[in-house]
């Protein structure tokens, strides 16, 4: 059963979530009923189906058109750039240890798990 576009548009304008296409079983005339929530749609559907000579033929979920907002450039918020200053002081032994670990990782001779083990061994040697 084809649903007239006017009925869909009317439902969207009203802010409805559902269009129930109903018909009078005596005259076979179709008419729209709009529902604004899931619960309302279920209640309305039961009510119409229980009425004499009326029935719900189709339930259509209406999709509201989302119009993109166009914001003028002068009103757009600019993201603030974050800068971090890191001040680290290392001893020469710590620097040598980091270089050795990094070299091993770059060469591919050490995998991440092995890096943890190597790091633990180097820590133990330092103590």
Based on the domain organization, do 18 and 54 belong to the same domain? yes
Could you give the percent of the chain with pLDDT greater than 90?
14
Based on the domain organization, do 18 and 57 belong to the same domain? yes
pLDDT at 126: 60
pLDDT at 127: 56
Average pLDDT for residues 56-73, to the nearest whole number? 74
Based on the domain organization, do 49 and 12 belong to the same domain? yes
Name every residue whose Cβ is closer than 8 Å to that of residue 23 and which is 6 or more positions away in sequence. 29, 30, 31, 54, 55, 57
The more confidently predicted of residues 102 and 66 is: 102
Based on the domain organization, do 57 and 87 belong to the same domain? no
Q: Give residue 111's domain range.
A: 83-126
In a domain, 34, yes or no: yes
Distance CA 48, CA 68 (A): 37
Yes or no: say if 56 and 22 are a contact pair by the CB < 8 Å rule.
Answer: yes
pLDDT at 20: 92
Based on the domain organization, do 98 and 56 belong to the same domain? no
Q: For the chain, what is the domain count? A: 2
pLDDT at 42: 93
In a domain, 73, yes or no: no
In a domain, 76, yes or no: no
pLDDT digits (tens, 9 = 90+) for 18-43: 999 999 888 888 899 999 999 999 99
Average pLDDT for residues 44-65, to the nearest whole number? 87
In a domain, 78, yes or no: no
pLDDT at 32: 92
In a domain, 56, yes or no: yes
Q: How confident is the model at residue 121 (pLDDT cuts 50, 70, 90)?
A: low
Distance CA 114, CA 28 (A): 78
3-state SS, one letter per residue, for the chain: CCCCHHHHHHHHHHCCCEEEEEEECCCCCEEEEEECCHHHHHHHHHHHHHCCCEEEEEEEECCCCCCCCCCCHHHCCCCCCCCCCCCCCCCHHHHHHHHHHHHHHHHCCCCHHHHHHHHHHHHHHHC
Q: Which residue has the tokens 């729209």?
A: 32
In a domain, 103, yes or no: yes
In a domain, 77, yes or no: no
Based on the domain organization, do 89 and 121 belong to the same domain? yes
In a domain, 101, yes or no: yes
- State the chain's mean pLDDT as an integer: 78
Based on the domain organization, do 11 and 57 belong to the same domain? yes
């Amino acid at each position: 059963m084809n649903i007239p576009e006017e009925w869909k548009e009317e439902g969207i304008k009203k802010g409805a979530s559902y269009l129930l296409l109903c018909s009078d079983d005596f005259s076979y005339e179709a008419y729209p009923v709009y529902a604004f929530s899931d619960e309302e749609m279920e209640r309305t559907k039961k009510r119409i189906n229980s009425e004499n000579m009326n029935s719900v033929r189709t339930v259509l979920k209406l999709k509201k058109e989302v119009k993109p907002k166009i914001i003028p450039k002068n009103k757009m918020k600019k993201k603030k750039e974050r800068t971090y200053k890191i001040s680290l002081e290392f001893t020469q032994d710590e620097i040598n240890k980091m270089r050795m670990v990094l070299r091993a990782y770059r060469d591919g001779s050490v995998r991440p798990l092995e890096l943890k083990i190597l790091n633990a061994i180097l820590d133990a040697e330092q103590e």
